Chains A and B, each alone.
Chain A
């Protein structure tokens, strides 16, 4: 993965149709404050990219072997995950969800389907 310089990263959100995105889908599970915290942390990803450090990212076991997760925290001890694929300096956010227990595996097929649909 290229390190990239500050500010030359991009974050793209999967389009669900009707103007809604993967972040809107996640928003249904969050308070306004938590959503704002997610938003700011995604902004930080856009600013620093992989430079944030290893603790923010996790490689996922999946059929395409392309998926990673971006780890966020929100108020009230909430944990949020975004499953993404990185192409060059762009993070394509496929699926966001409020992380509870060992639930990542159930979101991987959704992310894989969206990855195929997006044609990345």
Chain B
């Protein structure tokens, strides 16, 4: 039986299973983002841990979507991935990597300008990633945590039909109360 066939059958015969999948979805999407970007950059878990000032065991937990990872650790992991990506990225990738969204659409309010950079990269760090990182921590009463994004310079570009814009430096996000 192929794995995708198992999923279809499980969802069909057990309605509760969809709820279980939904319950773990945020952590697993964060895991998808970290694993995908780490592999794309050719880093081992140990190398990523070193760059993030963390441990291989912690990276392993994040990549499996289990354990209790603090916002601070997650920020450092994503910052390490972004830092690793930037030098290798050619100009076109860099320009195409940045997506801006309106803060209000995702329940954030900008601490600085009205535009928020929610991620960089060539796919995994597109808009969803940073939002997904922040969102699961709302129930953890981190309403006043500031989320920092990476600083790049660039000009307008386009990727996959999404218009991208110049990178915004060190944007601070505060979760809306």
Hey, which bits of chain A sit against chain B, CB under 8 A? 6, 10-13, 15, 19, 21, 23-24, 32-33, 35-37, 39-44, 46-48, 51-55, 72-75
16 contacts between A and B (CB under 8 A): A10-B3, A12-B3, A13-B1, A35-B20, A36-B23, A37-B65, A39-B21, A44-B31, A44-B32, A46-B3, A47-B36, A48-B36, A53-B44, A55-B45, A72-B64, A73-B67
Q: Are B39 and A52 in contact (CB under 8 A)?
A: yes
Instruction: Output the least CB separation between B145 and chain A (Å).
Output: 24
A55 to B20 Cα, complex, angstroms: 26
Judged by a CB distance under 8 angstroms, whether B172 is at the interface is no
The total of chain B residues at the interface (CB under 8 A) is 29
Write the nearest CB–CB distance from A67 to chain B, whole angstroms: 19
Q: Which B-chain residue is minimally distant from A10 (CB atoms)?
A: B2
Residues of A within 8 A of B176 (CB): none
Q: Is chain B's binding surface mostly helix, strand, loop or mixed? A: helix
CB pair A12–B64 under 8 Å, yes or no, is no
Contact of A53 among B7, B36, B45, B64 (CB under 8 A): B45
Q: Contact between B17 and A35 (Cβ–Cβ < 8 Å)? A: yes
The contact string, 1 if C-beta is below 8 Å from chain A, for chain B 11-43, is: 000001101110110001001100110010000
B66 sits at the interface (CB 8 A):
yes
Please, which residue of chain A has its CB at the minimum distance from the CB of B61? A73
Contacts of B28 in A (CB 8 A): 37, 40
Give bound CA distance, A23 to B60, whole Å. Answer: 22
Identify B64's interface contact among A13, A24, A39, A73, CB under 8 A: A73
**Contact status A75-B2, CB under 8 Å:** no
List residues of chain B with CB within 8 A of the CB of A48.
35-36, 39
Q: How many angstroms between the C-alpha atoms of A19 and B13 in the bound complex?
A: 12
Asked whether, in the complex, the Cβ of B17 is within 8 Å of the Cβ of A32, the reply is yes
Bound complex: CA A30 to CA B160 (Å)? 40
Instruction: Tell me whether A12 and B66 are in contact (CB under 8 A).
Output: no
Residue of B nearest to A15 (CB): B1
Report the Cα distance A75→B67, complex, angstroms: 7
| CB-defined contacts of A44 to chain B, threshold 8 Å | 31-32, 35
Note all chain B residues with C-beta closer than 8 A to A41.
Answer: 64-65
Interface flag for B165 (CB, 8 Å): no
With A51-B39, A55-B45 already in contact, the answer to whether A43 and B60 are too (CB < 8 A) is no
Provide the residues of chain A in CB contact with B21, threshold 8 Å.
Answer: 36, 39-40
Kindly provide the distance from the CB of A114 to the nearest chain B CB, expressed in whole angstroms. Answer: 13
Measured between alpha carbons, how far is A17 from B19 in the docked complex, in Å? 27
A34 to chain B, nearest CB (A): 9
B56 at the interface (CB under 8 A from A): yes
Alpha-carbon gap, A48 to B61, bound state (A): 17
Assess the B24–A52 pair: CB atoms within 8 A: no
How many whole Å from B118's CB to the nearest CB in chain A?
Answer: 23
* Interface set, chain B 77-116, CB cutoff 8 A to A: none
